[in-house]
Chains A and B, each alone.
Chain A
């Protein structure tokens, strides 16, 4: 994949480095590091959200970012390119993720980049 790389020494992540898979992801990491509201974030959260793929088969989806805010709120953010946002797989995944997050009182955001 294009523009993958390593985000070194993030201050708000528990890990020594974070991997990004695209330029927008790297920029988003910069944003998270600078934002005053954000206290913790990571892409290495191990969350797997069960959903049914287009073959009707149970599959698991790992969203991009897990973020924690100053007031204790949590958010899961998925970054998607414009051409992907209305793709049926993306919709299945985000539907499942919304349900999963709602159950836990976590905010789910699908961001178009």
Chain B
């Protein structure tokens, strides 16, 4: 998204340099107390910078920058302390401007974390963030600032008593009776407000906009804080980007605040494929001893089989386990390193948990949206020395808000296609364990080259992608490469190009409209039933990778002299395995629910549409795989076929098809 601060950079620097001229007296006192103090707890430089930019924009540049700002702050960059400091500043320096502070977050996990900072409780030794950090110069005020959490179904009355209201966006939706009452209460009973969106813009775009629009007239200031301003559909919020503290900036700072990333990729090839023909009952193994046949069948292997089929999956888990073993050695028992695995569906998540526990003896927690409260509590406690778990497996659930610094190894068992989701998933492991130490830390990511994630590693500015990792390799301690010269830094601001602003051109507008109109038909597929009916899933033949081997006989030595290559002929361990797991109708239902959820989320629809889509998908599955019999009547082979074709089924539910399905609602 465009940087709105470019034209103000020089003026801002001069403003800081000359001692903040033009701000009100209290603001000056606040800056001296919190940002330039020589004793007491110190904010990170980027936190100070973010706060100063908001102050500058709000007090001096409102006519040009408006009152809606966006701070892009990397995961682990201490967003909640920035929010708290801004509240402290407004309370101290502009008490007349704002009556109520609203902190909106996307989900319950973020809400809980914010509550721990802002609401006085045993969790924070009865000290709020305001007291602990002495955020305003006035200690009585620091003690007085109070916060409440808007819980589902609670009386909105509680909002009146506290200065700060923490809520997740769903509590303000206009569609529910209770939640609409919350919003109405804010509109009618409360004076001017300041809104802080902590990653909340990733929620469904139209509901988010609706809520903010209703509150528009009484919003004096809005600050959006996020690591990923762009939504899955490519749009971004209407606030002005005034600070960009991204991954590159974070790695380049004096005290690194996030981990460096090193990607480990195996290089392997298939040595055995099992072919099954459901009609004839023929079952045979194709091996590398018949190279031509092998080549023919290899072409039928789909990319996701490289991670989902049991043999290659075991190989990847084995590498991840070795990486975790190294991290355990490095930790010397001071903390508990964790393995975080992300899978495509519930079925693979369960299988992964089973493998991790049986083959590697790693106690594993499975977190899905169906997980109950106690399991989610466990997920929060995980990483502490008292937690029994060493690995977490998740489908889609743990994306934002859940960041446990002890996550030391991430294993991707799903193909990532969205920049936002990619950054969010890797972001779970980016927080440093020793936050304020100048020592760099490393996050190991295990990834299969067939998934083509090169673009993500470039985007995430990873330190190193290490190919041809063998599952038998002992993974050594990674050294951090000297990388300053590779960081793209702004060095000549005078060479920045100010892109020319568009002239109002009515003919362009009408042309764009024309293009839009001509595309309408393509967008919504009205005859979606017909199209879906034509879908073909060939279930007669199936192939599965049942054995893989590593084909490198040379490998780079790890942790020894750089560049030394040693012969390593004996380590080509073969990984074998076949899916002999019993699949029930319930498993298939779970898998379909999880697919429906990701379709809803990836396409930016509201969760209320889920039931409708589930019904359509289920009808489609029963029609295509079971000759319109219900799922409960399916036999073992049929259930297996459905599971195998889930990725293909998902592909057939394209955006146009979804639009078609939902365009019929309310008819």
**Residue positions of A touching B, CB distance < 8 A:** 1, 6, 8, 12-19, 40-42, 44-48, 50, 52, 55-60, 66, 68, 74, 99, 102-106
| A98 shortest CB reach to chain B, Å | 11
- Would you call B487 an interface residue if the criterion is a C-beta within 8 Å of the partner chain's C-beta atoms? yes
What residues on B are CB-neighbors of A56 within 8 Å? 519, 522-523, 656
Query: Within 8 Å CB of A102, what residues of B?
Result: 505, 508
Indicate if the CB atoms of A13 and B495 lie closer than 8 Å.
Answer: yes
Residues A58 and B500 in contact, CB atoms below 8 Å apart: no
Contacts of B503 in A (CB 8 A): 103-105
Contacting residues, chain A, for B500 (C-beta < 8 A): 74, 104-106
Interface size band for B: 35 or more
A contact residues around B607 at 8 Å (CB) = none
Q: In the assembled complex, which residues on chain B have CB atoms less than 8 Å from the CB atom of A104?
A: 499-503
Contact B488 A16 (CB under 8 A): yes
Can you name 5 A-B residue pairings with CB atoms under 8 Å? A14-B494, A15-B490, A15-B491, A46-B3, A58-B234
Interface centre among A12, A44, A50, A56 (most CB of B within 10 A): A56
Chain B residues contacting A57 (CB-CB under 8 Å) are 523, 655
B489 at the interface (CB under 8 A from A): yes
Known: A60-B234, A104-B500. A16 touches B487 (CB 8 A): yes
Known A99-B511, A103-B503; contact A12-B488, beta-carbon cutoff 8 A: no
Which residues of chain B in 472-518 are interfacial with respect to chain A, using CB atoms and an 8 Å cutoff? 485-497, 499-503, 505, 508, 511-512, 515-516
Q: Among A1, A14, A41, A44, find the residue whose CB has the most chain B CB atoms closer than 10 A.
A: A14
Q: Which residues of A contact B485 (CB under 8 A)?
A: 8, 16-17
On whether the beta carbons of A103 and B495 are closer than 8 Å, the reply is no
A15, A45, A52, A60: the one within 8 Å of B499 (CB): A45
B570 close to chain A: CB less than 8 A? no
Chain B residues with Cβ below 8 Å from A6 are 486
Closest CB of chain A to B170's CB: distance in Å? Answer: 26
Given A56-B656, A60-B234, A104-B499, does the pair A17, B486 have CB atoms closer than 8 Å? yes
Chain B residues with CB under 8 A of A40: 495-497
Q: Does B505 lie within 8 Å of A42, measured CB to CB?
A: no
B2 at the interface (CB under 8 A from A): yes
> Which residues of A are found within 8 Å of B233, using beta-carbon distances?
58
Cα–Cα, bound, A64→B495 (Å): 17
Taking a contact as CB atoms under 8 Å apart, the answer to whether A68 and B497 are in contact is yes
Of the residues B2, B491, B511, B522, contact of A55 by C-beta under 8 Å: B522
Name the distance in Å between B517's Cβ and chain A's nearest Cβ: 11
Q: Whose C-beta in chain A lies nearest to the C-beta of B494?
A: A14
Residue pair A42, B3 in contact (C-beta under 8 Å): no
Q: From residue A3, how far is it (CB to closest CB) to chain B in Å?
A: 14
- Tell whether, in the assembled complex, residue A52 and residue B491 are in contact, meaning their CB atoms are under 8 Å apart: no
The answer to whether A44 and B488 touch across the interface, beta carbons within 8 angstroms, is: yes
Measured CA separation A56–B503 after assembly (Å): 27
Q: Lowest 7 CB-CB distances: which A-B pairs, in order?
A: A56-B522, A14-B495, A103-B502, A104-B500, A16-B489, A14-B496, A56-B523
* CB nearest to A14 among chain B residues: B495
Partner of B505, one of A14, A59, A103: A103
The residue on B at minimum CB distance from A73 is B500
B417 within 8 A of A: no
Contact of A45 among B492, B497, B502, B508 (CB under 8 A): B497
Quote the shortest CB–CB distance from A72 to chain B (angstroms).
9
Give complex CA distance A17, B486 in Å: 7
- Please give, as numbers and ranges, the residues of chain B lying within 8 Å of A59 by CB-CB distance: 234
Q: What residues of A have a CB within 8 angstroms of the CB of B501 in the complex?
A: 104
Given A57-B523, A103-B502, output 16 extra A-B contacts at Cβ < 8 Å: A13-B492, A14-B491, A14-B496, A14-B497, A16-B485, A16-B489, A17-B485, A40-B496, A55-B654, A55-B655, A56-B522, A74-B497, A99-B511, A99-B512, A104-B499, A106-B500
Q: Which of B512-568 contact A (CB under 8 A)?
A: 512, 515-516, 519, 522-523
Q: CB-nearest residue of chain A relative to B496? A: A14
* Cα–Cα distance between A45 and B493 once the two chains are bound (Å): 13
Q: Known A6-B486, A18-B488, A52-B515; judge A46-B497 contact (CB<8 A).
A: no
